[in-house]
Amino acid sequence: MPLDSAATSTPDLLPLPLEEGRYMVRCVRGVEAAPARPLAYTPFLYLTPAHLALQQAPGEWLHFHLEDQRSNHTVGQFQAFLAEGDTVAYSPWQAPFGGAQLAPGLPADVVASFLTVVEAQLIQRGVQRLQVRSYPLAYDEAGGAQLTQALTQQGFRITQTELNNHLPLQEEFVARLHPSERRRLRKCERHGFQFEQEPPLLLPLAYEFLNRCRQEKGQHLSLPLERLQELFRLFPQHYFLFSVRDASGEWVALTVAIRVNDEVLYNFYPASPLAYNAFSPVVLLNAGLHAFGKASGMRILDLGTSMLPEGPNYSLLQFKRHLGGVLSLKLTFEK
């Protein structure tokens, strides 16, 4: 469905028609995406200027910051990357998710008006189609609900519905485990398996291990080693390498974990050789991640989506359910 709002001239600072100009939308073009006013929320890693700068889209980059003149804070943001002759906009271009992030408690009419302004600005630049892949709703249930309602009210349709699982870190890990996974966890512990945090200098060896495990299952890694090393170098407080080693010190499971923000730890690249299926060391791996996230004051451990090109990966969904995973949706919108 084409974007269908009329275009007008575009100053860099646009008032919302609410509360006598209290809210303004600042449009920033190009790689530089830093907001002019302090943020009223902790941004997700993928929506920070440093991470956005890595998304090398072929067309213009547009960043919209919603500013509250009364509090002198940025209370919302939206990024769009233009492609295909600047007729199509993507959010994100290259990241697990993009779209908008909102400060807690933002009124629904302000959210709707903000997104209306964003859409109008994109149309003015010749955009005919916009695709938005939002964060898992569990990250921010209230904000996600507001965004879903506002986008669908504006005529966006949901083009992809992904099932996402997470573990609530305020609950004990073992308490949520299925009995079969508890047995495997105890088996790993009896055989002397240990959870460890690994130094980034082991990334080349870890990448080989991860790649072999993926190839055993007919899968591939989404990032080349060089990009993964770059992410560890640029975001040392956000990217971590964790392992499970057996009693002899050999790796039996690995993952790359990402601190998405102060509340969310994302289990990004879990892998284990098929030869260790009887132990299921990924259970111990998740137990260690759960403990790390809880000790760091986080709220959830994101286990990620369980999707194949043809639809849900039901065996992976069942495994995550046995881990105690809580389902939520990750939505992609398009207009």
Q: What is the secondary structure of 230-276 as a DSSP string? A: HHHHH-TTTEEEEEEE-TTS-EEEEEEEEE-SSSEEEE---B--GGG
Give first-to-last CA distance, the chain, whole Å.
Answer: 5
pLDDT average, residue stretch 35-49: 96
In a domain, 64, yes or no: yes
Task: Write the CATH number for 75.
Answer: 3.40.630
Query: Is pLDDT above 80 for 2?
Result: no
Q: How many domains does the chain have?
A: 2
Q: Full-prediction pTM beyond 0.85?
A: yes
Do residues 300 and 137 lie in contact, with contact meaning Cβ atoms separated by under 8 Å?
A: no
Could you tell me if 239 and 322 lie in one domain? Answer: yes
Query: Is the Cβ–Cβ distance between 271 and 131 less than 8 Å?
Result: no
Q: Which percentage of the chain shows pLDDT scores above 90?
A: 87
What are 223-263's pLDDT values in tens digits?
999 999 999 999 999 999 999 999 999 999 999 999 999 99
Q: What is the pLDDT of residues 104-135, one digit of tens each?
A: 999 999 999 999 999 999 999 999 999 999 99
Query: 236 and 171 in one domain?
Result: yes
Counting Cβ atoms within 10 Å, is residue 246 exposed (0-12), middle (13-18) or buried (19+)?
middle
Alpha-helix runs per DSSP H in 35-140 = 49-52, 108-124
- Does one domain contain both 233 and 139? no
- At 316, which CATH number? 3.40.630.30
Q: CA-to-CA distance for 165 and 306, rounded, in angstroms?
A: 8
Query: Hey, what amino acid is at 281?
Result: P
